[in-house]
Amino acid sequence: MQAAPESVERVAALRDQRALRRGVVISVLASAIAIVFAVSLMVGQTFYPPADVVRVILGDDVAGASFTVGWLRLPRAVLAIVVGLSFGLAGVAFQTMLRNPLASPDIIGISEGASAAAAVGIIMFSLSGTGVSALAIAASLGVALLIYGLAYRGGVAGTRLILIGIGIAAMLRSVTAYTLSQAGQWDLQEALRWLTGSLNGASWEQAIPAFFALVVLGPLLLGASRNLSAMQLGDDTAAALGVRVERTRLLVVVSAVGLIAFGTAAAGPVAFVAFLAGPIAARLIGPRGSLLLPAALVGALLVLVADLLGQYAFGTRFPVGVVTGVLGAPYLIYLIVRTNRAGGSL
């Protein structure tokens, strides 16, 4: 069949338009992250002008600013970006792979698994650093396997998997709550970190393992994005297109769970970031094209902005997870409404 030249042109124009839109969205997101990052380094109890901040980052010794910016604000902002990128990336990878926006790791219990493991490791066994991360990653992989195994009955149905995940998440939250109650003094800040996620008291020690996990696993996931998009058409179609389905799935699950585990071990299960980033990114760049990179950027922007709001916008200092939780809650409800209306996979 011979396509008319004008329709070829129109398809090409549409493709260019999409690529342009994608490019614009990604650069706008990246610059927004840079701006909010800079602002979060400058503002606080004391305001430091950009010149001071730059000098601190370059390693100069600036009275006052060196400590406040170098040891308090910088690790916090860096951790916010690292955690946001990790959660956004891992969340959208799960949502794409399971073809259901509700199947994000923070809804089906994987984040809760990492959180419970980290809380147990830190409070019960006084672990730190690598030990906590290892425990978190083992636990969340175990949870992922368990949910998949329980949901598998000659095929995995989306709704069944999500509800089983919700049941597991309820148990894991109990583990976290019990562990916290055994900590002797019920420490509200510590509790909030493991229940909803918080960046309060963020340090380089927490940020560095999560950063390296992102550097290693992030590119792996991004590299799989083409295969992942093909798998959205169904496993058989993807295999026919030359995708090694099982290998891709394993790679995606392990990297995404790893990102969640390292991020959660550092900042707790920051509520709904993994869940929200993908759908927001999809709205921004429109249909088609991989969502992985835009969703990661949306995640980072969400965490940065939510942390800034939580710290300074209200009379009380809210941990970042409470802000994202309250922002995400209506969207979660809206998504349920929309899925139910459309028939969806329910």
Partner 1 sequence: MTTAVSPPESGVAILRRPTRVRLLWLLVVAAVLVALAVASVAIGSRDVTWADILAGVGGSIDTIEQAAVYTRVPRTVLAILVGAALAVSGAVMQGVTRNPLGDPGILGINMGASLAVITGMAWFGIGSAVGQIWAAIAGAGITAVLVYVLGSMGRGGATPLKLALAGAATSAALASFIIAVALPRGDISANIRSWQIGGVGGANFENMQHAVPFLVVGFVVSMLSARSLNSLALGDDVAAGLGERVATARAAAAIGSVMLCGAATAVAGPIAFVGLVIPHLCRLLVGVDHRWLLPFSALTGSGLLVAADVLGRIVARPSEIDVGIITAFVGAPFFIAVVRRQKVREL
Amino acid at 98: L
Return the number of the residue (52 or 190) whose C-beta is nearest partner 1: 190
CB of 203 to partner 1, least distance (A): 23
Tell me which residue of 274, 261, 235 sits closest to 84, measured CA to CA: 274
CB of 135 to partner 1, least distance (A): 20
CB atoms within 10 A of CB 265: 30
Per the listing, tokens 């009380």 go with 316
CB of 280 to partner 1, least distance (A): 17
CB–CB of 90/257 below 8 Å? yes
Return the number of the residue (7 or 185) whose C-beta is nearest partner 1: 185
Binding site for partner 1 (CB under 8 A): 98-100, 102, 107, 150-151, 153, 155-160, 162-164, 166-168, 170-171, 173-174, 177-178, 180-182, 186, 188, 191-192, 195-196, 271-272, 314-316, 318, 321-322, 325-326, 328-330, 332-333, 336-337, 339-346
CB of 269 to partner 1, least distance (A): 11
CB of 246 to partner 1, least distance (A): 17
Return the number of the residue (59 or 343) whose C-beta is nearest partner 1: 343
In DSSP terms, 152 is beta-bridged to 156
- Give 325: exposed, middle or buried? Use CB within 10 Å, 0-12, 13-18, 19+: buried
Return the number of the residue (70 or 109) whose C-beta is nearest partner 1: 109
Return the number of the residue (2 or 185) whose C-beta is nearest partner 1: 185
CB of 144 to partner 1, least distance (A): 15
Return the number of the residue (31 or 182) whose C-beta is nearest partner 1: 182
Token digits of residue 311: 């710290």
Return the number of the residue (107 or 277) whose C-beta is nearest partner 1: 107
Instruction: Please name the residue ranges forming H helices in 43-157.
Output: 50-58, 65-67, 74-98, 110-119, 130-151
Return the number of the residue (91 or 209) whose C-beta is nearest partner 1: 91
How far apart, in whole angstroms, are the C-alpha atoms of residue 101 and residue 335? 8
Tell me which residue of 143, 88, 83, 72 sits closest to 297, measured CA to CA: 88
Token digits of residue 238: 């993807």
Backbone torsions φ then ψ of 288, nearest 5 degrees:
70, 160
Dihedral of alpha carbons 17, 23, 29, 32, sign: negative
The length of the chain in residues reads 346
Return the number of the residue (68 or 95) whose C-beta is nearest partner 1: 95
CB of 147 to partner 1, least distance (A): 9
CA distances from 83 to 161, 210, 218 (A): 25, 7, 12
CB of 11 to partner 1, least distance (A): 31
CB of 283 to partner 1, least distance (A): 19
CB–CB of 92/295 below 8 Å? yes
Tell me which residue of 105, 131, 280 sits closest to 197, measured CA to CA: 105
- Give 327: exposed, middle or buried? Use CB within 10 Å, 0-12, 13-18, 19+: middle
